[in-house]
Amino acid sequence: MHQKTKDIQKRYDGFLQTPCLWKNDAIFELNQFDIKEKSSKINIAIDERLRLGRYIERFVSYQLEQENTIDILCENVQIQQEKRTLGELDCILLKNGNPIHLEIIYKFYVYDSSVGNTEIAHFIGPNRKDSLVEKLTKLKNKQLPLLYANECVNYLKSIDLKSTEITQKVYFKAQLFVPFANSTLQLTSLNNECISGFYVNQKELKQFYDSKFYIPIKKDWLVQPHQNVDWLNFQQFKNDKKEYLERNFSPLCWLKKPNGEIEKFFLVWWN
């Protein structure tokens, strides 16, 4: 298998293995899309220049196409008001003949108890530039209501649908990272299976002086950590991490402990 194909397969497998951020009960009145995660050999070409969100949308498209009960009607439809883009509909599909407007989200969040007063509010982006609450609010108040905008009517007519006939769902997957000092944290409203690792600051990093490290490129943040990479020793890692932290970027890293155990963690610049 060609190396590029192997890389895509590892990322797709990692995407499939990432759980949805919540189960059963809706959060923010947002209902999760129900689809069984079936591993399969992926056979698509993906432009490596795509940002991660678009890259993942290609995975979702492939995953949906493998389902006999699903027909994709349209993807990435831009809704415009004159020359201004109001937003985009990620996907409209038929599942067992029933139309669904699907919004696709894949996020990385860290748990900071100093932010907000609820479990959901405690989750923020690793660079402190966004938060789970902001994303859920945007989905509820902006992205999903776009379907009901006047500007959508003509487009929906073109695919023989009316907004009143369409159910709305989100496909919201996430990797969550908890403080190293509180790594046994149990979630109550979100899915505990989404906890993918921990995060540390530079001071806390010192306790891993006898471990090995690896800093994957962003698309490989999806990948389940494995042995077969060029591991760095503690000093090499300290040198390499500087360029990330100096530009206020928290890298996702892999840690290989002396006993061979491998974990994912974020090294945050802000704590």
Domain ranges of the chain: 3-180+185-194, 199-267
pLDDT of residue 157: 95
Q: Helix 52-65 crosses helix 3-17 at what angle (to 10 degrees)?
A: 80
Tell me the C-alpha to C-alpha distance, in Å, between residue 153 and each of 38, 139, 167, 220.
35, 20, 16, 39
Retrieve residue 29's tokens: 């009145």
pLDDT of residue 1: 55
168, 31 Cβ separation under 8 angstroms? yes
62's torsion region: left (phi>0), alpha (psi -120 to 50) or beta? alpha
The count of other CB atoms within 10 Å of the CB of residue 217 is 10
Stretches in the chain below the pLDDT threshold 70: 1
